[in-house]
Amino acid sequence: MKAELDSKIVLRRSPDVLETTVNDEPVLLHSTRWQYLHFTGSGAAIWQALAEPMSFEALIAALRMRFDIDEDTCRRETEQFLQKLLDEEFVIAT
């Protein structure tokens, strides 16, 4: 499912995802798909930011404050990562 990530989209974690932390990094299990993910660095920062529902624009702003990255690169790389999370139903866009 390809979601258009514009300023009106609100992203939130799927309630079907179970989470634990191993070595300060998130490890996720999708409870209905039996798929797991593990990520570090900016992926972990994105997941942590989505602890509360957040717009794509707010997420980009938060990431740019945390990392030294230009806006175009941040948008492109964040959208690619989020698209994987959306496709695999770890994140829901409304």
- Domain coordinates of the chain in residue numbers? 10-93
SS3 93: strand
Sign, CA torsion 38/51/91/63:
negative
pLDDT of residue 50: 96
The helix (run of H) or strand (run of E) holding residue 41 is: helix 41-49
Q: Is the pLDDT of residue 52 over 70?
A: yes
4-46 tens-digit pLDDT = 677 788 999 999 999 999 988 899 999 999 999 988 889 999 9
Query: Model-level pTM?
Result: 0.88
Question: What is the third-level CATH fold of 10-93?
Answer: Outer Surface Protein A; domain 3 (3.90.930)
Q: Residue 8 and residue 76: Cα distance in Å, rounded?
A: 17
What are residue 76's phi and psi, to 5 degrees?
Answer: -65, -50
- Which of 85, 93, 87 has the alpha carbon at shortest distance from 44? 85
pLDDT band at 2 (very low <50, low <70, confident <90, very high): low
Q: Residue 50 and residue 17: Cα distance in Å, rounded?
A: 13
